[in-house]
Structure formats: structure tokens, C-alpha cells
Amino acid sequence: MNEKQTGLEWFNINVKSLLVDDFELKYVDEKDGDLGDLSGVQFDLDKKGGYVYFWSSGYVGFQLVDYEKELEVVEDTTEEITSRSYDEVFNTLLLQLK
């Protein structure tokens, strides 16, 4: 991960391009939550949807759900980014979106 690259910049480069044009994107920006300031994106389509969140404290969260099958394709996950890159942390999500 490029240290100067924000979470949303990483999302726009690495995830947004994997989402078909029909996905509705909702950008989230909230201050002073339990894990610090939150920025992220919720993405939804009739068949599936999910989210990618980045907190100022170094935590990330993500999930992908198949609405038709009522199944979590990528389990609701919140974890702290330590020495791993965004590519490593979000690998499971990226593989399911390809």
C-alpha cells in the first residue's frame, strides 16, 4: 500500500473498476465514531451488495452479500490494518468481485 494513498483512493482504483455500472454507490463520511473517523463506500445491486469501510484508527471493514441466495459471500469483517497491505486484507472480497 502506498502510504500516501487513502482508503478511498485505493477503493476507487482497485474495487470500483470491478463493480459493474449498475451498482449504486453510496459514499460514507462520518466523524468521531467508536473506531475514529469513518470513510467508505456501500455498493448495491438488485442481486448483491456490500461495503468497504476505512477508519482513521487503522481499522477496515467489509462484506459482500448475495441477496438472491440470502448468503454472505464474504463474511462481515472488521480488522486492524497492521503491516499488511489493503490488497492482502481485501483479497477475499476482490476475488469474489472478479
Note the pLDDT of residue 84.
87
- Is the pLDDT assigned to residue 21 strictly greater than 80? no
Cell of 63: 462484506
How many CB atoms lie under 10 A from the CB of residue 21?
A: 4
- Is the pLDDT assigned to residue 94 strictly greater than 60? yes
Give the whole-angstrom CA distance, residue 40 versus residue 48: 18
In sign, the C-alpha dihedral spanning 47, 95, 10, 86 is positive
* Averaged pLDDT of the chain: 91
pLDDT in tens, 28-38: 999 999 999 99
Give mean pLDDT, residues 37-56: 95
**Global confidence as pTM:** 0.89
pLDDT in tens, 64-78: 999 999 999 999 999
Note the pLDDT of residue 2.
46
